[in-house]
Amino acid sequence: MQKIIILTGAGISAESGLRTFRDSDGLWEGYNIEDVATPQAWARNPELVQDFYNQRRKGVLEAQPNAAHYALAKLQEKYDVTIITQNIDDLHERAGATNVVHLHGVITRSQSSANPKLTYPINGWEIKMNEVCELGSPLRAHVVWFGEDVPMIEPAARLCATADIFILVGTSLAVYPAAGLIDYVPVEVPKYIIDPKIPEVRNYGSVYKIEEKATVGLVKLVQELMGDE
Protein backbone atom coordinates (compact mmCIF):
# COMPACT_ATOMS: atom_id res chain seq x y z
CA MET A 1 0.00 0.00 0.00
CA GLN A 2 1.48 3.32 -1.06
CA LYS A 3 2.08 5.90 1.62
CA ILE A 4 0.57 9.37 1.14
CA ILE A 5 1.73 12.17 3.41
CA ILE A 6 -0.42 15.31 3.39
CA LEU A 7 0.53 18.67 4.91
CA THR A 8 -2.49 20.92 5.49
CA GLY A 9 -2.74 24.56 6.51
CA ALA A 10 -5.33 27.18 7.30
CA GLY A 11 -6.69 27.30 3.73
CA ILE A 12 -8.41 23.93 4.07
CA SER A 13 -10.32 25.05 7.16
CA ALA A 14 -11.11 28.52 5.83
CA GLU A 15 -13.77 26.93 3.63
CA SER A 16 -15.48 25.65 6.79
CA GLY A 17 -15.76 29.22 8.01
CA LEU A 18 -12.65 29.25 10.22
CA ARG A 19 -10.59 32.31 9.47
CA THR A 20 -6.97 31.91 8.50
CA PHE A 21 -4.43 32.56 11.20
CA ARG A 22 -3.42 36.07 10.15
CA ASP A 23 -5.48 38.48 8.16
CA SER A 24 -3.84 40.94 5.76
CA ASP A 25 -3.49 43.45 8.60
CA GLY A 26 -1.51 40.96 10.67
CA LEU A 27 -4.27 40.50 13.23
CA TRP A 28 -5.96 37.27 14.29
CA GLU A 29 -9.68 37.80 14.93
CA GLY A 30 -8.90 41.44 15.70
CA TYR A 31 -6.12 40.72 18.19
CA ASN A 32 -2.38 41.26 18.01
CA ILE A 33 -0.65 37.88 18.04
CA GLU A 34 1.63 39.12 20.84
CA ASP A 35 -1.41 39.69 23.08
CA VAL A 36 -2.96 36.22 22.78
CA ALA A 37 -0.48 33.69 21.39
CA THR A 38 2.74 33.90 23.41
CA PRO A 39 3.86 32.68 26.84
CA GLN A 40 4.40 36.33 27.75
CA ALA A 41 0.75 37.11 26.97
CA TRP A 42 -0.36 34.29 29.26
CA ALA A 43 1.88 35.57 32.05
CA ARG A 44 0.63 39.12 31.55
CA ASN A 45 -3.10 38.53 31.14
CA PRO A 46 -4.15 34.87 31.40
CA GLU A 47 -7.88 35.76 31.50
CA LEU A 48 -7.67 37.47 28.11
CA VAL A 49 -5.75 34.56 26.57
CA GLN A 50 -8.09 31.97 28.06
CA ASP A 51 -11.16 33.80 26.79
CA PHE A 52 -9.62 34.21 23.35
CA TYR A 53 -9.07 30.47 22.95
CA ASN A 54 -12.44 29.64 24.49
CA GLN A 55 -14.08 31.72 21.77
CA ARG A 56 -11.91 30.11 19.06
CA ARG A 57 -12.83 26.67 20.41
CA LYS A 58 -16.52 27.52 20.31
CA GLY A 59 -16.11 28.49 16.66
CA VAL A 60 -14.28 25.26 15.86
CA LEU A 61 -16.99 23.14 17.48
CA GLU A 62 -19.67 24.98 15.50
CA ALA A 63 -17.78 24.51 12.21
CA GLN A 64 -18.23 21.41 10.04
CA PRO A 65 -15.73 19.51 7.88
CA ASN A 66 -15.90 20.40 4.18
CA ALA A 67 -15.49 18.40 0.98
CA ALA A 68 -11.69 18.65 1.16
CA HIS A 69 -11.56 17.11 4.64
CA TYR A 70 -13.83 14.27 3.51
CA ALA A 71 -11.77 13.74 0.35
CA LEU A 72 -8.60 13.19 2.37
CA ALA A 73 -10.40 10.71 4.60
CA LYS A 74 -11.56 8.81 1.50
CA LEU A 75 -7.94 8.25 0.45
CA GLN A 76 -7.64 5.85 3.41
CA GLU A 77 -9.65 3.29 1.44
CA LYS A 78 -6.74 2.77 -0.97
CA TYR A 79 -3.62 4.28 0.63
CA ASP A 80 -1.68 4.43 3.88
CA VAL A 81 -2.51 8.06 4.76
CA THR A 82 -0.97 10.37 7.33
CA ILE A 83 -2.16 13.97 7.61
CA ILE A 84 0.25 16.46 9.15
CA THR A 85 -1.66 19.63 9.94
CA GLN A 86 -0.66 23.10 11.03
CA ASN A 87 -4.28 23.68 12.04
CA ILE A 88 -5.47 23.54 15.64
CA ASP A 89 -9.01 22.41 14.76
CA ASP A 90 -10.25 18.81 14.75
CA LEU A 91 -12.04 18.88 11.37
CA HIS A 92 -9.81 16.17 9.84
CA GLU A 93 -10.76 13.74 12.59
CA ARG A 94 -14.43 14.63 12.39
CA ALA A 95 -14.33 13.90 8.64
CA GLY A 96 -13.03 10.40 9.40
CA ALA A 97 -9.25 10.73 9.18
CA THR A 98 -7.63 8.25 11.54
CA ASN A 99 -3.96 9.26 11.44
CA VAL A 100 -3.50 12.98 12.09
CA VAL A 101 -0.36 14.68 13.44
CA HIS A 102 -1.11 18.11 14.93
CA LEU A 103 2.04 20.23 14.71
CA HIS A 104 0.59 23.10 16.72
CA GLY A 105 -1.66 21.20 19.11
CA VAL A 106 -5.44 20.87 18.99
CA ILE A 107 -7.75 23.43 20.55
CA THR A 108 -10.31 20.85 21.67
CA ARG A 109 -7.89 19.65 24.37
CA SER A 110 -6.41 21.48 27.35
CA GLN A 111 -2.89 21.25 28.71
CA SER A 112 -1.07 21.96 31.91
CA SER A 113 0.58 25.38 32.03
CA ALA A 114 3.45 23.71 33.92
CA ASN A 115 4.02 20.63 31.73
CA PRO A 116 2.81 20.68 28.08
CA LYS A 117 2.92 16.88 27.94
CA LEU A 118 -0.05 16.74 30.32
CA THR A 119 -3.14 17.16 28.15
CA TYR A 120 -6.81 16.54 28.83
CA PRO A 121 -10.15 16.41 27.00
CA ILE A 122 -12.40 19.43 27.44
CA ASN A 123 -16.02 19.05 28.45
CA GLY A 124 -17.72 21.54 26.15
CA TRP A 125 -16.05 24.63 24.74
CA GLU A 126 -14.77 26.46 27.81
CA ILE A 127 -11.72 26.15 30.06
CA LYS A 128 -12.37 28.01 33.30
CA MET A 129 -9.60 29.86 35.12
CA ASN A 130 -10.06 27.74 38.25
CA GLU A 131 -9.44 24.46 36.41
CA VAL A 132 -6.04 22.97 37.17
CA CYS A 133 -3.94 20.00 36.06
CA GLU A 134 -2.78 17.18 38.33
CA LEU A 135 0.19 19.35 39.31
CA GLY A 136 -2.09 22.13 40.49
CA SER A 137 -1.23 24.51 37.63
CA PRO A 138 -3.93 26.27 35.58
CA LEU A 139 -5.17 24.61 32.42
CA ARG A 140 -4.75 26.41 29.07
CA ALA A 141 -5.47 25.58 25.46
CA HIS A 142 -3.39 22.74 23.99
CA VAL A 143 -1.90 25.05 21.38
CA VAL A 144 1.73 25.81 20.54
CA TRP A 145 2.35 29.52 21.01
CA PHE A 146 4.97 31.68 19.34
CA GLY A 147 8.23 31.20 21.19
CA GLU A 148 7.40 27.63 22.25
CA ASP A 149 8.91 24.41 20.93
CA VAL A 150 7.07 22.43 18.25
CA PRO A 151 7.53 18.92 19.67
CA MET A 152 5.92 17.09 16.72
CA ILE A 153 8.15 18.65 14.05
CA GLU A 154 10.82 15.92 14.16
CA PRO A 155 8.34 13.02 13.93
CA ALA A 156 6.65 14.91 11.07
CA ALA A 157 9.97 15.30 9.24
CA ARG A 158 10.61 11.56 9.55
CA LEU A 159 7.16 10.85 8.14
CA CYS A 160 7.78 13.14 5.15
CA ALA A 161 10.92 11.18 4.33
CA THR A 162 8.79 8.00 3.94
CA ALA A 163 6.26 9.43 1.46
CA ASP A 164 5.46 7.74 -1.85
CA ILE A 165 3.15 10.68 -2.68
CA PHE A 166 3.17 14.10 -0.99
CA ILE A 167 0.26 16.56 -1.00
CA LEU A 168 0.47 20.14 0.23
CA VAL A 169 -2.85 21.93 0.61
CA GLY A 170 -4.01 25.24 2.01
CA THR A 171 -0.68 26.55 3.24
CA SER A 172 1.51 29.43 2.09
CA LEU A 173 4.70 27.77 3.39
CA ALA A 174 5.29 30.90 5.46
CA VAL A 175 5.23 29.47 9.00
CA TYR A 176 8.40 27.72 10.10
CA PRO A 177 9.40 25.11 11.07
CA ALA A 178 6.38 23.51 9.32
CA ALA A 179 7.26 25.17 6.01
CA GLY A 180 10.53 23.25 5.91
CA LEU A 181 8.88 19.81 5.94
CA ILE A 182 8.76 19.63 2.14
CA ASP A 183 12.57 19.57 2.21
CA TYR A 184 12.44 16.10 3.77
CA VAL A 185 10.34 14.57 0.98
CA PRO A 186 12.56 12.54 -1.41
CA VAL A 187 13.21 14.43 -4.63
CA GLU A 188 11.76 11.69 -6.86
CA VAL A 189 8.41 11.59 -4.99
CA PRO A 190 5.50 13.32 -6.81
CA LYS A 191 4.41 16.44 -4.93
CA TYR A 192 1.01 18.05 -5.43
CA ILE A 193 0.49 21.63 -4.26
CA ILE A 194 -3.10 22.85 -4.03
CA ASP A 195 -3.91 26.47 -3.22
CA PRO A 196 -5.55 29.45 -4.95
CA LYS A 197 -2.17 31.18 -4.68
CA ILE A 198 0.62 28.66 -5.09
CA PRO A 199 3.62 29.64 -2.95
CA GLU A 200 7.05 29.89 -4.55
CA VAL A 201 8.89 26.59 -4.23
CA ARG A 202 12.41 25.61 -5.12
CA ASN A 203 13.14 22.80 -7.55
CA TYR A 204 11.74 19.87 -5.61
CA GLY A 205 11.64 17.47 -8.55
CA SER A 206 8.18 16.33 -9.64
CA VAL A 207 5.92 19.20 -8.52
CA TYR A 208 2.34 19.44 -9.79
CA LYS A 209 0.57 22.73 -9.08
CA ILE A 210 -3.22 22.86 -8.79
CA GLU A 211 -4.18 26.51 -8.43
CA GLU A 212 -7.64 26.08 -6.95
CA LYS A 213 -9.24 26.15 -3.54
CA ALA A 214 -9.09 22.93 -1.54
CA THR A 215 -12.73 21.90 -2.01
CA VAL A 216 -12.24 21.96 -5.78
CA GLY A 217 -8.62 21.07 -6.48
CA LEU A 218 -8.19 18.49 -3.75
CA VAL A 219 -11.45 16.75 -4.58
CA LYS A 220 -10.33 16.42 -8.21
CA LEU A 221 -6.91 15.09 -7.19
CA VAL A 222 -8.41 12.51 -4.83
CA GLN A 223 -10.77 11.30 -7.55
CA GLU A 224 -7.73 10.87 -9.81
CA LEU A 225 -5.72 9.03 -7.14
CA MET A 226 -8.68 6.78 -6.31
CA GLY A 227 -9.20 5.96 -9.99
CA ASP A 228 -12.75 7.34 -9.94
CA GLU A 229 -14.33 8.19 -13.24
Length of the chain: 229
Long-range contacts of 220-224 (CB under 8 A, 24+ apart): 221/71, 221/167, 221/192, 221/194, 222/71, 222/72, 222/74, 222/75
DSSP code per residue over 140-177: EEEEPPTTS--TTHHHHHHHHTT-SEEEEES--S-STT
- CB-based contact 144:104 (threshold 8 Å): yes
Residue 104 annotated in active site:
yes
At 191, phi and psi to the nearest 5?
-125, 125
The catalytic site residues sit at 104
